[in-house]
Structure 1
Amino acid sequence: MEIYRFDKEIGKKITKFDSDFIMSRIVRTEKATHIGCMYLEANGIIGYHQAVSPQLLLIMAGEGAVRGESDDYHKVQAGDAVFWEKDEWHETKTSEGLTAIVIESEDLSPSAFMTLKK
C-alpha cells in the first residue's frame, strides 16, 4: 500500500487559454479503466478483500483509516490517494464518513504524477 497526495498545495497553477485554476494530476491510462464514487456513511466500511486490479482510492471529503495486508491502519483525509496493487488485501473504514473516487485499471502508475505522503 502506498499513500500519495493530490491536494491543492501540490497542484500546478494553469493559466493557458486565459484559465485561472490549480490542477493536481493523478493518473493517465492506456487500458480500460473503471472510475466510480464511493459514499461511506458514519461507521462505514469497505471490507477486507483482495484488489481485483490495481486500485487508486482518492479521498475527496471526510476522513478514515486504511490498511493493506498488515493490521496497521493509516489515517487518510481529503487530498490523500491510496494505491493498492492487484491481489493486495486491503480495507477502508470511517467513523465520521467519507467520499472517495476509486480508479481501477491494469495500467495505473500513480507515482508518475503524484508524490508520496510523508
Structure 2
Amino acid sequence: MFRFDRAEKVVDRFDSVGASATPVAAGEGAVHLTCLSVEPGGTIGAHPAPVAQLFLVIAGEGWVAGADGLRVSVSAGDGVRWEPGEVHTSGSATGLTALAVEGPSLVLSAPGPREPGAVA
C-alpha cells in the first residue's frame, strides 16, 4: 500500500500556480503516471503536450482549455485527451486531483460522449 497524492514536487513551469505532482509509475517506452494536485485558485499553465496524454479527474472540479483558451468544466470522473503538441491548460477555483497518463507509445481509446449521470 502507498499514497499517490503526496504532492511531492511543485509544478512551477509555464507560469503554473498552486499545483504539485507526484510521480507514480513509469514503464518501458517512457510511459508515465503522475498524480496532479491543483489547489483552490491554482492553474497549470498553457503548454504543449510532449506526447499523447490523458488527464483523468479523480476528485474535485475545475476546468481545462485548449489553445483557444475556451474553458470547459470538468469534475471527478471526467477525462480529457490531448494529442502530442496540443497546447492546453487547466485549473480550479475549488481544487482538484487528476491522474496524468502520458507516453509516446500510449494508445488512447476513442473518447465517448460526455453524458452526465451515465454509468460506465
TM-score, with normalisation over the residues of structure 2? 0.67
Q: Which has the higher strand share?
A: 2
What CA deviation, in whole Å up to 9, does each residue of 1:54-110 have, x standing for no partner? Answer: 110000000001011112110000000111111110000100000000001112333
2:75 corresponds to 1:77: yes
2-structure distance, mates of 1:111, 1:30: 19
**Counterpart for residue 103 of structure 1:** 101
What is the root-mean-square deviation in Å for CA atoms of aligned residues?
1.8
**Which has the larger Rg?**
1
SS of equivalent residue, structure 2 residue 105: coil
Structure 2 runs not aligned, ≥5 long: 1-26, 116-120
Is contact 1:60-1:78 (8 Å) kept?
A: yes
Report how many aligned residue pairs link the two structures: 89
Letter in 2 for 1:115: G
Name which structure has the greater RCO, CA cutoff 8 Å, separation 6+: 1
Distance 2:28 2:80 in 1: 20
Structure 1 residue 30: Cα displacement: 7.6
Letter in 1 for 2:53: Q
Q: Does 1:41 align with 2:39?
A: yes
Give the percent of matched residue pairs that are identical in Structure 1 and Structure 2. Answer: 40
Q: Which structure has the highest helix share of the two?
A: 1
**TM norm structure 1:** 0.68
Unaligned runs of 5+ in 1: 1-28
